[in-house]
Structure 1
Amino acid sequence: MLRQLLRGAALSLVTTAAMAAAPDATLQASLQKVADQARPGTLGVLVMDPATGQSVSVNASRPYLMMSTFKAPIAAAVLSQVDAGKLTLDHKVHLTPSDIVDGSAVPSVGATLKAGARDFTVDELLHGAVTQSDNTAVDALLRVIGGGSVATRFLEGNGVRGMRIDMGEGELSRLFETKGVDAVLASHVDSTTPEAAAAFLRKLQAGELLSADSTRKLLGLMTAQVIPNRIRAGLPAGYQLADKTGTSGTRDGRMAAFNDIGIITAPDGQQRIVVVLLAEARATPEQATTWFAEIGKLVAASM
């Protein structure tokens, strides 16, 4: 009798484990189908349950060019200096028209500077960099903290390995012009693996990188970011996303990078970390956007 009970219990455990694994297996297969559509480009995807650390992924071991997704970890490095008392949010940074770096999701810091030099607070620059994806703002913040190597050391010191920040938007743009897309991608500058991006987001969400106030601030800036498409476009009503996008633009019909990383929160409070990084795709931004929206829809359905 005891043997039969034990056998029944074991069978129940196996069945329960199989049922628990089934959604992940289904999601894995669905993500692979989306990634296949991006060929000959490479679509890297990682979806993680931050409560358990369990994840499913596709093409997740290689590095991808971050572009503006690096603005979230740079903002974290800045806020870590605020937490340490080395900076304050109201610290003034003087910028002139010569500091303008083209690129912003909306008229922001760079556009304001066209009227002439002015001072910006660190708080204003954080809002410009993360929420409005302003390149002038993020390059100014990098200078304030001492450069990309400082941001990288902050990440590595907190256990985020595989994400590197080498330079700002202006220098990267010049590198594209002088060296070309292939050379930039081969150098792995300003790059991350999906695993590293997920680790950054998980540690941020868990309060392991910053103080409680700074954590809330950065997640709030990410939630308010102004680009409404990509992962966000696929989420049902009531789902929230704190994310940062990144785009290289298209050259000769090829996108070097088209990205979105973030934390989805369902109406019931469940969360998923989602990293979607697209490299060297021969697709229009509109086509890539549909892939990202589909991934958002698939993840929400799996929660």
Structure 2
Amino acid sequence: MKKLVRSRGAMLAVGLVSVGAIGVATRTMPPQAHASAERYSVAVPLPAQTRPAPAALVQAINALGGGFQGHVGIAVRSIDDGWVVGHAMDRRMPQQSVSKLWVAMTTMSAIDEGRLALTTPVAITRSDLTLFHQPIAYLMKDGVFNTTVGDLLRRALTMSDNTANDKLLNLVGGPVAVRDFIASRGLGNIRFGPGERLLQARTAGLSWKQEYSQGNAFAQARSRLDPNVRRAAYQAYVADPPDGAGAGAIADALARLHHGMLLSQQSTAWLLDTMAHTRTGRARIRAALPPGWSVAHKTGTGQDLAGRTAGFNDIGIITAPDGKAYAIAVMIGDTARPVPERQQLIQTVVSSIVAVHG
């Protein structure tokens, strides 16, 4: 079998991105915001690798990635020792709701800069509704749900609520603001798409209409499409996803977050604690953790078509009882394998880390 695992420690190319070049400096910001923007205008390298990756883990990841029937990217980074192993780490896979993490980080950055606060009031109306999973829609009374930025963050991260996420996206300045955040932190091979409505509509072969946010309207409109139209749209999405990201870049970003290189100490702690309460994906990373281990993570799952799924993912930071941590990203970009097999792949990656930890 061709060896697909390679160390990224020596290959971590860090671009120097000027704040002015991405337009951040043109925004009106309080004095403390300028200090924050200056701090992150140059991406700081991750700590150097201090020991080699465990050979048993290299072999396990090679076997798992190479043996799975479908497109899969895997990356595991030791946050303490700096080594990285993986399979197809640089291939962009559909993120789906994994991309909610970048919206959350952009929001927390706005909080660090004083432009928002966790307590900032927000009103959700019917015009804010998106599609698919949006439990916040059932909380509306007389067409309005009054909440806060902090509550929306919690719902977007732990419940993967699409409406909560897209409302935050609008508050911080839309997709351009999130792309600016990704670029200014030097996160590399991570794309951010056009938002939930447009992304899902294009994946299905539809043009978005706000009426699709009500009930089962989106699914009904999708079912009426010419199968060839839908198949072509699906194939175009998985071939070059506008929200695509490499598993290696995601693992690097998680390590940077853990090291406090992306947000303030307070925002970092709040974000990781919130991710530790994620309710989705109970049969993915979390299912393989022994007692005493913990995880802060975000899942992502795309649309199905004829047994295929455009994105079946889990990414996060797992921490051993002794405090050592690992950033992990398992991105299944397109596969027709049954869901239990996908879940088992993610669980086996985690089990392989646990096995070599001691």
TM bucket normalised to smaller: 0.7 to 0.9
Structure 2 residue runs of 5 or longer lacking an equivalent are 1-50, 206-231
Q: Which residue of 2 aligns with 1:30?
A: 60
Q: Which residue of 2 aligns with 1:10?
A: none
Determine the C-alpha separation between the residues in 1 that align with 2:193 and 2:66. Answer: 31
Question: Could you tell me whether the CA contact under 8 Å between 1:244 and 1:262 is conserved in 2?
Answer: yes
Deviation at 1:196, TM superposition (A): 1.3
Given residue 55 of structure 2, which amino acid in structure 1 is its aligned partner?
Answer: A
Aligned residues: 280
Note if 1:289 corresponds to 2:318. no
Deviation at 1:115, TM superposition (A): 6.2
Match of 1:80 among 109, 112, 123: 109
Question: Could you tell me whether the CA contact under 8 Å between 1:28 and 1:58 is conserved in 2?
Answer: no
Label 1:109 to 1:268 Cα distance change in 2 as closer, same or farther (>3 A).
same
Note if 1:183 corresponds to 2:236. yes
State the Cα deviation string for residues 3-22 of structure 1 (Å, max 9, x = none). xxxxxxxxxxxxxxxxx75x
Where do 1:91-240 residues align within 5 Å?
Answer: 91-104=120-133, 108-113=135-140, 116-178=143-205, 180-227=233-280, 228-240=282-294
Q: Which residue of 2 aligns with 1:54?
A: 83
Determine the C-alpha separation between the residues in 2 that align with 1:260 and 1:188. Answer: 17
Determine the C-alpha separation between the residues in 1 that align with 2:334 and 2:158. Answer: 26
Question: Could you tell me whether the CA contact under 8 Å between 1:109 and 1:125 is conserved in 2?
Answer: no
The structure richer in helix per residue is 1
Determine the C-alpha separation between the residues in 1 that align with 2:125 and 2:354. Answer: 44
Determine the C-alpha separation between the residues in 2 that align with 1:206 and 1:294. Answer: 26
Given residue 151 of structure 1, which amino acid in structure 2 is its aligned partner?
Answer: V
> What SS does the corresponding residue of 1:180 show, helix, strand or coil?
helix
Match of 2:93 among 64, 88, 93: 64
Deviation at 1:114, TM superposition (A): 7.5
Determine the C-alpha separation between the residues in 2 that align with 1:114 and 1:61. Answer: 46
Q: With structure 1 as the length reference, what TM-score do the two structures score?
A: 0.88
Determine the C-alpha separation between the residues in 2 that align with 1:99 and 1:235. Answer: 37
Q: Which residue of 1 aligns with 2:296?
A: 242
Determine the C-alpha separation between the residues in 1 that align with 2:138 and 2:202. Answer: 23
CA RMSD, 1 decimal: 1.7
Given residue 152 of structure 1, which amino acid in structure 2 is its aligned partner?
Answer: R
Query: Which 10-residue stretch deviates more, 109-118 or 173-182?
Result: 109-118
Deviation at 1:199, TM superposition (A): 1.8
Deviation at 1:35, TM superposition (A): 1.9
Structure 1 residue runs of 5 or longer lacking an equivalent are 1-19
Question: Could you tell me whether the CA contact under 8 Å between 1:101 and 1:110 is conserved in 2?
Answer: no
> What SS does the corresponding residue of 2:278 show, helix, strand or coil?
coil
Label 1:75 to 1:113 Cα distance change in 2 as closer, same or farther (>3 A).
same
Q: With structure 2 as the length reference, what TM-score do the two structures score?
A: 0.75
Question: Could you tell me whether the CA contact under 8 Å between 1:126 and 1:137 is conserved in 2?
Answer: yes
Which 4+ stretches in 1 moved above 3 angstroms? none
Given residue 42 of structure 1, which amino acid in structure 2 is its aligned partner?
Answer: H
